[in-house]
Amino acid sequence: MKKKVGIITLGCPKNLVDSEIMAGSLEDAGFEVTPTLISAEAIIVNTCSFIGDAKEEAVINILEAARYKDEGSLKVLMVTGCLAERYKDEIFKEIPEVDVVVGTGSIDQIPDILSKRLNGSGLQKEIHARIPNTVDYLELTRNVTDNKPYGYIKIAEGCDNRCTYCIIPSLRGEFRSRSVENIVREAGMLANKGKKEIILIAQDVTRYGTDIYGEKRLVPLVRELSKVEGIERIRLLYCYPELIDDDLINEMKNNEKLVKYLDIPIQHISDRILKAMGRRGNREYIIRLLEKIRHEIPGVVLRTSLITGFPGETEEDFNELYDFVKESRFEHLGVFAYSREEGTPAYKMKGQIPKKIREARRNKLMELQKENVEKYNSTRTGRIYDTIVDGVAEDGIFYVGRTYAETPDIDPVIYFTSPEPLETGALVPVKILCPDGYDLVGEAQTIGRNGEQ
């Protein structure tokens, strides 16, 4: 009988891809991956530790999994992912129920580790951690079992940007691209599983190819992926501003499969704060870039992320950021109150700002963004957009879908009715009727379409 393994995935889509690779490699090794944790002999908690809230969520999930040692069949509790890499020595002290810690550079060892432990070998606490320096594990079998019409492809691992607030480079290693051929092969696999939209992810997709080809290769990669039969949409997450060039802008303008959507993590607009963050751009460059993108790509949708309360941020710095958000009117925007993370240069910086002020500034920006979204949504009412069906809403009445302007899992959605039954993954014209908070409500059309994409 196959030994059962459960996997709990926390954090971003990059972690989801890692978990699917763990599942695929485990099944190749003769294990059964089960969603029923009470019957699992081993449970893997794949964690995030980017900010404080993520660490807290990870600890809660590890402790919840540990109870299956008493209530279920659990023999081996394994912690993987960024928390495991970052706190590999501390985890056993703080959570003694954990048996094995596997760092981000040792994912390919998981089947062998579990096989030995479940067969009675290696009964002591184990740490498996090596410097993350390859992307070989991304070529292992990936088990994609969901019926969603979209799928993520991790095109690179690690990061070279060294922003002063970020711990990722020390957890994931230097930036490492996969080959075009391997990425295209994985896109074909996703297409065969019914995925209509592929989302390219990395810490910085705009840097793709610079390490293995000696030049940026994102645009050639997109062109190759556009040839994959069954793929109707290609989406990019996350594009650093300083590497967005004319080639990428022109490709987005002219390639019908590359959706007109850019996620550009700006983080701030004050030159003084950008410099302290270790960011390469400045206010003038960012504003000119945004103006150029909007001018060259009609209908483009922009998302960004910002940080409030970075060490040394004055009221003047924040007001500059506030005015920038008001004027720029990003269609989508996320704001994080600065999280002071050990091991980052910003942790030791002078001028640490009280949590209450950090969060108050964040809330003020989010209130402003709510106004921006209301204005944006008002321009969409009455228009018709090609909308991909993600599934059926919990009420069983509405379908849930997305236009080119919404990325799954992070952006709002379109709730709509249809006079005819629709299949998940279908691309249908939907007329927007009205806003519903951040979301929109619409109805599928049987004839005619005059909206974008």
Q: What is the CATH classification number for the domain harbouring 188?
A: 3.80.30.20
pLDDT at 102: 95
Q: How many CA atoms lie within 13 A of 107 on its CB side?
A: 31
Q: Residue 133 domain-assigned?
A: no
Q: How confident is the model at residue 67 (pLDDT cuts 50, 70, 90)?
A: very high
Based on the fold, state whether residues 294 and 396 are members of the same structural domain.
Answer: no
Based on the fold, state whether residues 213 and 259 are members of the same structural domain.
Answer: yes
The CATH number that applies at residue 394 is 2.40.50.140
User: Is the CB of residue 18 less than 8 Å from the CB of residue 44?
Assistant: no
| Residue that terminates a domain, selected from 79, 95, 128 | 128
Mean pLDDT value of segment 317-330: 97
User: Is the CB of residue 237 less than 8 Å from the CB of residue 203?
Assistant: no
Mean pLDDT value of segment 302-312: 98
User: Is the CB of residue 401 less than 8 Å from the CB of residue 388?
Assistant: yes
Q: Residue 135 domain-assigned?
A: no
Based on the fold, state whether residues 151 and 300 are members of the same structural domain.
Answer: yes
Based on the fold, state whether residues 124 and 161 are members of the same structural domain.
Answer: no
Number of domains comprising the chain: 3
Measured between alpha carbons, how far is residue 23 from residues 29, 51, 111, 401 in Å?
Answer: 10, 26, 9, 28
Q: Residue 139 domain-assigned?
A: no
Based on the fold, state whether residues 392 and 369 are members of the same structural domain.
Answer: no
The CA R_g of the chain, rounded to the nearest whole Å, is 23
The CATH number that applies at residue 114 is 3.40.50.12160
Strand ranges in 309-348 using DSSP code E only, listed in sequence order: 332-337
Based on the fold, state whether residues 193 and 86 are members of the same structural domain.
Answer: no
- Tokens describing residue 438: 């951040």
Task: State the CB neighbour count (10 A cutoff) for residue 253.
Answer: 14
pLDDT at 448: 44
Based on the fold, state whether residues 415 and 363 are members of the same structural domain.
Answer: no
Which residue range forms the structural domain that includes residue 424?
381-444
Q: How many residues are listed for the chain in this entry?
A: 453
Instruction: Reply yes or no on whether the pLDDT at 149 is more than 50.
Output: yes
261-263 β-sheet, strand order = 261-263, 301-308, 332-337
Based on the fold, state whether residues 399 and 372 are members of the same structural domain.
Answer: no
Q: Residue 451 domain-assigned?
A: no
Q: Give dist(CA 92, CA 94) in Å, integer.
A: 6
Residue 298: closest CA among 132, 452, 78, 87: 452
Q: Residue 230 domain-assigned?
A: yes
Q: Give dist(CA 77, CA 98) in Å, integer.
A: 5
CB burial of residue 241 (10 Å; 0-12, 13-18, 19+): buried
Mean pLDDT value of segment 180-187: 97
**pLDDT digit string, tens, across residues 418-451:** 999 999 999 999 999 999 989 999 999 974 444 4
- Tokens describing residue 394: 């919990």
What does residue 390 show for φ and ψ, rounded to 5 degrees? -90, -20
Alpha helices in 241-314 (DSSP H): 246-254, 271-277, 283-296
Q: How confident is the model at residue 122 (pLDDT cuts 50, 70, 90)?
A: low
Based on the fold, state whether residues 333 and 228 are members of the same structural domain.
Answer: yes
Q: Residue 134 domain-assigned?
A: no
Those residues with Cβ within 8 angstroms of residue 359's Cβ, 6 or more apart along the chain or in another chain: 308, 309, 337
- Tokens describing residue 1: 């009988």
Q: How confident is the model at residue 208 (pLDDT cuts 50, 70, 90)?
A: very high
| Residue that terminates a domain, selected from 98, 128, 158 | 128
Q: Residue 31 domain-assigned?
A: yes
**pLDDT digit string, tens, across residues 7-29:** 999 988 999 999 999 999 999 99
Mean pLDDT value of segment 105-128: 88
Based on the fold, state whether residues 150 and 261 are members of the same structural domain.
Answer: yes
Query: pTM for the whole thing?
Result: 0.93
**pLDDT digit string, tens, across residues 245-288:** 999 999 999 999 999 999 999 999 999 999 999 998 899 999 99
Q: Give dist(CA 135, CA 186) in Å, integer.
A: 14
**pLDDT digit string, tens, across residues 74-106:** 999 999 999 999 998 899 988 999 999 999 999
Q: Residue 118 domain-assigned?
A: yes
Based on the fold, state whether residues 107 and 168 are members of the same structural domain.
Answer: no
Q: Give dist(CA 102, CA 296) in Å, integer.
A: 46
| Residue that terminates a domain, selected from 128, 152, 180 | 128
User: Is the CB of residue 59 less than 8 Å from the CB of residue 23?
Assistant: no
Based on the fold, state whether residues 18 and 113 are members of the same structural domain.
Answer: yes
